[in-house]
Amino acid sequence: MPGDDIAVRTEDLSKLYGTREAVVGLGLTVPAGRIFGFLGPNGAGKTTTIGMLCTLLRPTLGDAWVAGAHVVREAALVRRRIGVVFQEQTLDQDLTALESMRLQAELYGLSRPAARAAGTALLGLMGLDDRSDGVVRTLSGGTRRRLEIARALVHGPRVLFLDEPTAGLDPQTRAAVWEHLRLLCREHGLTVFLTTHHLEEAEHCDRIAIIDHGELVTEGSPRELKSVIGADLVTLRTDDDERVAETVRRSFGLSTETGPDGVRLRAPDGAALVPRLCAELTVPVRSVTVDSPTLDDVFLHHTGRTIR
């Protein structure tokens, strides 16, 4: 059994549907008190994994522990120690925000006074003080999402599972949700385990595991994963891309690709290379862009395709 410093651990966790392997031999270790991102394209096995970790699906093979309890042998204990926010909304449209909180609290056995106190405190924490009497159907999508997160925390879970938590939200609302999630981890020691296929969202995580076709591809912090690429992408648009590509290969010893976007090449410090590159070229340069490695580059590096 993992110690208190480990929120989630899996060993050879697998889920098969007949002969189809949805998740294969998954081995994860998620430190407590962190935001952990499970990144992969649609159909990669993210939701199936969360289903097993939340005791909604029984693993075919392997073991998993969440908040110190085994997901099969101690399923009831796991459920008391976790909160879950599904991708699809599950709020009762006819309740107010505070009524939603109180109902959830009472389902977990909290007394009415305790339920009201917890509901009021969490609505405040999520910036919903002024919406406590608002009926769910009248709330915006972002407000409903924050309400769902608050509701999932009402019984004091140790791990919060979020399945595509900001799907369908505008960038401003997505940023607000992330601000509250970081606050929960920092001030309350909560562990957040989220699935996403949004690369920008994964950048907010302390640690990321990339999954593809049900298998773990790689794992690390965003900085660690991008350091594997180790080079910036330099793109030049010129009056003669083929001639420029030849000059870059001959004078700088760098590999190039020529396509509709212009001449593309990788260099450890693209910004420092550009002045020397332009000075060497005899062909007019229309534009130059330098892009640092992205998580999409990481996915491409490990799988041979992009996640977008």
Q: Which of residues 305 and 50 earns the better pLDDT score?
A: 50
User: What confidence score (pLDDT) does residue 308 get?
Assistant: 61
CA distance 251 to 216: 40
pLDDT digits (tens, 9 = 90+) for 180-204: 888 888 877 899 999 988 777 888 8
> Where does 3-50 show beta strands of DSSP type E?
6-17, 20-31, 35-39
Per the prediction, the chain carries an average pLDDT of 90
Q: Kindly give the pairing relationship between strand 6-17 and strand 61-66.
A: antiparallel
User: What confidence score (pLDDT) does residue 200 get?
Assistant: 77
Q: What is the pTM of this model?
A: 0.81
Where do the CATH 3.30.70.260 domains begin and end in the chain? Answer: 231-292
Q: What number is the average pLDDT over the span 23-44?
A: 92
The alpha carbon of 217 is separated from its chain's Cα centroid by a whole number of angstroms, namely 15
pLDDT digits (tens, 9 = 90+) for 46-95: 999 999 999 999 999 999 999 999 999 999 999 999 999 988 888 999 99
Confidence band of 2 (pLDDT split at 50, 70, 90) = low
Q: Which CATH class is domain 231-292?
A: alpha beta
The helix (H) or strand (E) run that includes residue 289 is: strand 285-291
Question: Which residue has tokens 């699906």?
Answer: 57
6-225 carries CATH number 3.90.100.10: no
Res 165 pLDDT > 90: no
Under a CB-based contact definition with an 8 Å cutoff, are residues 166 and 177 in contact?
A: yes
pLDDT digits (tens, 9 = 90+) for 234-275: 999 999 999 999 999 999 999 999 999 899 999 888 889 999
User: What confidence score (pLDDT) does residue 3 get?
Assistant: 65
Confidence band of 1 (pLDDT split at 50, 70, 90) = low
The amino acid that residue 103 corresponds to is L
Per DSSP, 96 falls in state: B
CA distance 174 to 198: 11
pLDDT digits (tens, 9 = 90+) for 84-135: 998 888 899 999 999 999 999 999 999 988 888 888 988 988 888 899 999 9
Nearest to 45 by CA among 175, 204, 160, 216: 216
Where do the CATH 3.40.50.300 domains begin and end in the chain? Answer: 6-225
